[in-house]
């Protein structure tokens, strides 16, 4: 998920409680069976590689393609500044990405953003590329340590490796809504489509800088409420033009774009959040926005994928309706969206999010479910700290936790 500064407070609460949640006595007694780690260097690597392998095997049940839309290794910016564990995270990433490469997976690492240009670090704890951090240059121009691993794999597997470029989807639920979308170029903006697109230090905008580093794919998020302020109505021409300018700039830099409807299974109005598949937000409205987006982008060669809903299970998820569970409802809903786009003649790859994280997919979904969908890839997200990407503790903490779980 793309968040800002932190992604959850669970570990903070656990630590403050003084109990033995994950970091206390329970972790001190890791089982001896973890010693061999299945040939991997440590328990955390073993755990993550086991989960990744299970996901790859799940895809293989129907020969489906896979796309890991968000995977993250932390740096030591902001709230992680006291940690010096980057080499261990980089080693895990190298092992993980090697497995992805051998399985033919596409993956985009979390994250890159122009939003932090006025912060002391020019980025936050997951920033792979950051700004010059002088408060004026919005374009990213400085590689963080994670870039070395990512760029090595991107060079070996061109067109398969990229980054999430945050910004266009930034949205404070509970504050912003379809009638209060936030001010463009202040609360949010699309990468390279802002008031200060070129960094004078490099002479490049953010996309050009990424291309110079060997990156070929960017996943670009946007919000449904801004793109379609009234359900089933026309798309907002101003917001649409911002996204089109972003995609045009990506094309000029030689990058491909995966469009990401970053709405977590809902739609926000002034009175609160509407859950997809509820009476207030029927599936027909979801089909409608994607049909209208298809009409605008189906013939755009720079757009190589539609990520049709970011993490539909988050923030309350969707309504189960008559399906018995939200996961089963999601399977049925995504099939209808795929059918609607294919009926229009749109052949763009459709990325189908699982209704859970990567590690939970084999348990939540019996097998990949879309039929007669053409070019389909299933997408899941994988954060290695199990708290949604905050990484409030160091590598050794998460390694001890994995050992306690038997890895």
Determine contact, residues 295/246, Cβ cutoff 8 Å: no
Q: Where do the structural domains in the chain lie, given as residue ranges?
A: 10-404
Q: What average pLDDT does the structure give for the chain?
A: 91
Residue 134 pLDDT: 83
* pTM for the full predicted model: 0.91
Q: What is the CA radius of gyration of the chain?
A: 21
User: What average pLDDT score do residues 267-285 get?
Assistant: 98
Element containing residue 252 per DSSP (H, E): helix 237-253
Distance CA 387, CA 301 (A): 37
The 10s digit of each residue's pLDDT in 192-202 is 999 989 998 89
The 10s digit of each residue's pLDDT in 78-130 is 889 999 999 999 999 999 999 999 999 999 999 999 999 999 999 999 999 99
Residue 357 pLDDT: 96
Q: To 5 degrees, how large is the angle CA 119–CA 240–CA 129?
A: 30
Residues shown for the chain: 407
Residue 169 pLDDT: 97
Distance CA 29, CA 381 (A): 30
- CA nearest neighbour of 316 among 368, 272, 360, 364: 272
How does strand 272-275 pair with strand 266-269? antiparallel
| Residue 406 pLDDT > 70 | yes
Q: To 5 degrees, how large is the angle CA 143–CA 86–CA 208?
A: 15
User: What average pLDDT score do residues 241-250 get?
Assistant: 98
| Residue 50 pLDDT > 60 | yes
Looking at the domain that runs over 10-404, which CATH code has it been given?
Answer: 3.20.20
Q: Which residues contact 237 (CB under 8 A, 6 or more apart)?
A: none
User: What average pLDDT score do residues 3-19 get?
Assistant: 34
User: What average pLDDT score do residues 242-258 get?
Assistant: 98
b/e 348-371 (16+ beta carbons within 10 angstroms → b): bbbbbbbbbbbbbbbebbeebbbe
**Tokens 């949010």 label which residue?**
188
Residue 179 pLDDT: 98
Residue 33 pLDDT: 46
The 10s digit of each residue's pLDDT in 279-334 is 999 999 999 999 999 999 999 999 999 999 999 999 999 999 999 999 999 999 99
Query: What percent of the chain has pLDDT above 70?
Result: 91
> Largest Cα–Cα distance in the chain?
61
DSSP 44-100: HHHHHHHHHHHHHHHHHTTT-EEEEEEEE---SSGGGTT---HHHHHHHHHHHHHHH
């Amino acid at each position: 998920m793309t968040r800002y500064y932190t992604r959850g407070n669970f570990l903070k609460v656990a630590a403050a409680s003084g109990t033995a949640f994950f970091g206390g006595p329970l972790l001190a007694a890791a089982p001896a069976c973890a010693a061999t780690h299945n040939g991997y260097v440590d328990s955390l690597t073993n755990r993550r590689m086991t989960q990744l392998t299970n996901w790859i095997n799940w895809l293989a049940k129907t020969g489906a393609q896979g796309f890991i839309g968000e995977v993250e290794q932390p740096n030591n910016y902001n709230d992680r500044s006291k940690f010096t564990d980057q080499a261990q995270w980089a080693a895990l990433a190298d092992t993980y990405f090697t497995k992805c490469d051998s399985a033919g997976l596409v993956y985009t690492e979390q994250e890159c953003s122009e939003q932090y240009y006025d912060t002391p670090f020019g980025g936050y704890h997951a920033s792979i590329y950051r700004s010059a951090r002088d408060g004026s240059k919005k374009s990213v121009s400085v590689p963080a340590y994670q870039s070395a691993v990512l760029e090595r794999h991107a060079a070996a597997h061109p067109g398969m490796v990229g980054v999430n470029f945050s910004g266009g989807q930034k949205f404070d639920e509970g504050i912003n809504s379809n009638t209060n979308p936030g001010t463009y170029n202040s609360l949010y903006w699309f990468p390279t489509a802002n008031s200060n697109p070129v960094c004078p230090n490099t002479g490049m905008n953010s996309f050009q800088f990424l291309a110079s580093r060997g990156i070929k794919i960017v996943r670009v998020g946007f919000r449904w409420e801004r793109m379609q302020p009234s359900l089933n109505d026309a798309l907002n021409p101003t917001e649409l033009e911002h996204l089109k300018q972003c995609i045009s700039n990506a094309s000029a830099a030689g990058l491909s774009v995966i469009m990401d409807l970053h709405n977590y299974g809902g739609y926000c109005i002034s009175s609160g959040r509407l859950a997809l598949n509820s009476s207030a937000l029927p599936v027909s409205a979801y089909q409608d926005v994607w049909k209208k987006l298809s009409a605008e982008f189906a013939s755009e060669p720079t757009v190589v994928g539609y990520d049709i809903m970011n993490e539909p299970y988050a923030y309350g998820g969707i309504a189960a309706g008559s399906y018995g569970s939200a996961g089963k409802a999601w399977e049925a809903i995504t099939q209808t969206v795929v059918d609607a786009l294919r009926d229009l003649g749109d052949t763009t790859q459709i990325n189908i999010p699982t209704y859970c994280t990567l590690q939970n997919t084999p348990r939540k979904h019996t097998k990949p479910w879309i039929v007669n969908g053409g070019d389909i890839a299933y997408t899941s997200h994988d954060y290695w700290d199990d708290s949604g990407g905050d990484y409030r503790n160091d590598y050794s903490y998460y390694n001890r936790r994995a050992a306690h779980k038997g890895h």
